[in-house]
């Protein structure tokens, strides 16, 4: 892994000629991702992020912490005990430099030894599940990391709107798999990561998977095609 996302975060934090990231998927064109977006404060976050941070309580695990903006808010403004977790070494280093007391560089499937009252997966948190074939593995892992009475707060977007429709309203969806399974590529300063599989989930598909893996689930906020869900143990 070239850790291009981490390099962009590192360059921005250290003011070392940062450039915007570029991302693309198997169904979308190249798109700019300004690095400063990853450093925004609470007031600049969207409604789903703000709601998730307001609902967070107890001991928190922030999965896919990136530059650590969610973790910083919970630690400094809410006075919660937070662990920022990310697979990007440079992102984790920046989390520490920004003042996050506990930041860990590890894949969530390998992370163990602690349990939490709140687990956050934000900015299309279902993306880390990779594919429908792996969703049970990830949900079972979340179940083991969650305290009894705890909550998983996770967001995603139903991307059905991105597909073409016919004049009767039918949607043209490529055969061969779930429409929310995409190849996702990050570009930075002329370099490209290898494509990763990234999963966007409609709420009903997440609901069925959550129930099958021992969770109760509710949709706590809906914003157009995006939503925030709360999972708790049955």
| pLDDT tens for each residue of 180-212 | 999 999 999 999 999 999 999 999 999 999 999
CA distance 198 to 176: 16
DSSP 51-74: HHHHH--SEEEEET-TT-HHHHHH
Q: What is the pLDDT of residue 120?
A: 98
Q: What is the pLDDT of residue 161?
A: 77
pLDDT at 173 over 80: no
Predicted confidence band of residue 27 (pLDDT cuts 50, 70, 90): confident
CA distance 32 to 136: 32
| pTM for the model | 0.94
Q: What is the pLDDT of residue 165?
A: 63
Domains, the chain, with CATH or none: 4-158+173-233 (3.40.50.150)
Mean per-residue pLDDT, 102-114: 97
What 8-state DSSP symbol labels residue 34? Answer: -
Is the separation of the CB atoms in 234 and 215 below 8 Å?
yes
Mean per-residue pLDDT, 127-145: 97
Q: Which residue has the tokens 């990561």?
A: 193
pLDDT at 41 over 90: yes
CA distance 210 to 212: 5
Share the mean pLDDT of the chain.
95
| pLDDT tens for each residue of 47-85 | 999 999 999 999 999 999 999 999 999 999 999 999 999
pLDDT at 90 over 70: yes
């Amino acid at each position: 892994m070239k850790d291009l996302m981490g390099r962009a975060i590192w360059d921005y934090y250290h003011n070392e000629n940062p450039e915007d990231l570029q991302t693309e998927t198997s169904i979308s064109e190249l798109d700019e991702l300004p690095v400063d977006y990853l450093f925004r404060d609470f007031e600049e976050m969207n409604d789903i992020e703000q709601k998730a941070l307001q609902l967070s309580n107890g001991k928190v695990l922030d999965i896919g912490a990136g530059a650590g903006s969610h973790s910083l808010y919970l630690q400094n403004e809410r006075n919660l005990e937070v662990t920022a977790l990310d697979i990007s070494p440079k992102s984790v280093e920046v989390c520490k430099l920004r003042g996050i007391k506990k930041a860990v560089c590890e894949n969530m499937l390998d992370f163990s030894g602690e349990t939490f009252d709140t687990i956050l997966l934000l900015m299309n948190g279902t993306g880390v599940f990779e594919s429908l074939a792996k969703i049970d593995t990830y949900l079972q892992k979340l179940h083991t990391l969650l305290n009894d009475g705890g909550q998983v707060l996770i967001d995603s977007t139903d991307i059905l709107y991105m597909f073409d429709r016919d004049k009767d309203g039918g949607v043209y969806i490529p055969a061969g798999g779930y429409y929310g399974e995409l190849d996702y590529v990050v570009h930075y300063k002329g370099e490209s990561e290898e494509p990763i599989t990234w999963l966007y989930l409609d709420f009903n598909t997440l609901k069925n998977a959550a129930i099958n893996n021992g969770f109760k689930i509710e949709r706590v906020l809906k914003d157009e095609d995006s939503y925030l869900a709360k999972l708790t143990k049955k």
